[in-house]
Amino acid sequence: MASSEEDGTVEEKENNNKKRTKSALTTAWLTFYNIAMTAGWLVLAMAMLRFYIKKGTHKGLYRSIARTLKFFQTFALVEVGHCAIGIVRTSVIVTGVQVCSRIFMVWFVASSIRQIQNEESVILFLVVWTVTEITRYSYYTFKLLNHLPYFVKWARYNFFIVLYPLGVIGELLSIYAALPFVRRSGMYSMRLPNKYNVSFDYYYCLIIVMLSYIPLFPQLYFHMLRQRRRVLYGEVIVEKDD
């Protein structure tokens, strides 16, 4: 979500001013957004730590942070809007897929299927998400403020190597654990006959979602690896020149 602003120095004065104001406004909004999200996920991290320290177990942890999690994860939809308007130079589809998969996990798996909320896999992906999001949003914040410490950049482009696969494992195990409960309760499903002449089986839908990780995960993972090489490798060259 790097800011796409260009320096106004190249344009004529009128455009210059217009661009400056537009860029200033978008930068201000993006900075505020990223600070807010960093703070939100920090709050979540703190809440999770405090719960675990106090209770000594992860049972009931999800319930205690569910509302905050839902709020901040859903708010991330705004990022899709950023890409769509163009103030952030990322593909709308890539961002859309990522945000939607997160929202799906939160609303349609973890929150709605109570029986799996105490599973270890849920805690696993929660921890992974928290660390990833704090790193990511603080990276964007520092970048927008033009004061990016190297360790933040390093973290953003190296943590994912381990965190991403761990997160996927956590998500897949959670969905797998949810399957028997979905089948038994028939939730979110619609059977024939009905006047709309359509049917939907949430059980098979979840299986298809799990299978979709197979083509999608490698693509996103290698995309991040390529970005890492470009960003970190590029940095090395600059240092050599200096």
Partner 1 sequence: MDILALEAKNANVADAEKKPTPKPKAKQPKKAKRIVYFEVEILDLKTKEKLLLLDKVEPTATVLDIKALFHKSYPKWYPARQSLRLDPKTKSLRDEEVLQTLPVGTTASFYFSDLGPQLTWGTVFLAESVGPLVLYLMFYFRLPFIYSPKYDFTSSKHWVVHLACMCHSFHYIKRILETLFVHRISHGTMPLRNIFKNCGYYWCSAAWMAYYINHPLYTTPLYGQQQVNAGLYIFLFCQVGNFSIHVVLRNLKQPGSKVKKIPYPTRNPFTWIFWLVSCPNYTYELGSWIGFTVMTQCVPVALFTLVAFIQMTVWAKGKHRSYLKEFRDYPTLRSSILPFIV
Q: Which residues are catalytic?
A: 164, 171
| Residue 21 or 219 with smaller CB distance to partner 1 | 219
Please list, in sequence order, all residues whose beta carbon lies within 8 angstroms of the beta carbon of residue 189, skipping any fewer than 6 positions away: 199, 200, 201, 202, 203
Size of the site for partner 1 (CB under 8 A): 8
The per-residue DSSP string of 62-131 comes to: HHHHHHHHHHHHHHTHHHHHHHHHTSB-S-HHHHHHHHHHHHIIIIIIITT-GGGTT-HHHHHHHHHHHH
The nearer residue to partner 1, 214 or 236, going by C-beta atoms, is: 214
Site for partner 1 in 110-169 (CB under 8 A): none
Smallest gap from residue 192 Cβ to partner 1 (A): 4
Helices marked H in the chain — which ranges? 13-55, 61-75, 77-85, 92-103, 120-144, 150-185, 202-241
Choose between 195 and 240: whose C-beta lies nearer to partner 1: 195
**Shorter beta-carbon distance to partner 1: residue 198 or 238:** 198
With the C-alpha atoms ordered 151, 157, 162, 165, is the resulting torsion angle positive or negative? Answer: positive
* Binding flags for partner 1, 181-210, as an x/- string (CB under 8 A): -----------xxxxxxxx-----------
- Tokens 């009931």 sit on residue: 60
- Binding track over 49-78 against partner 1, x by CB under 8 A: ------------------------------
Q: How far is the CB of 111 from partner 1 (least distance, A)?
A: 27
**Nearby residues of 133 by Cβ (< 8 Å), 6 or more positions away:** 37, 41
CB of 195 to partner 1, least distance (A): 5
One-letter identity of residue 68? T
212 binds partner 1 (CB under 8 A): no
The answer to whether 98 and 217 have CB atoms below 8 angstroms apart is: no
Query: How far does the chain reach from its first CA to its final CA, in angstroms?
Result: 28
CB of 100 or CB of 190, closer to partner 1: 190
Distance CA 34, CA 37 (A): 5
**Cβ–Cβ under 8 Å, residues 202 and 187:** yes
Question: For binding to partner 1 (CB under 8 A), which residues are involved?
Answer: 192-199
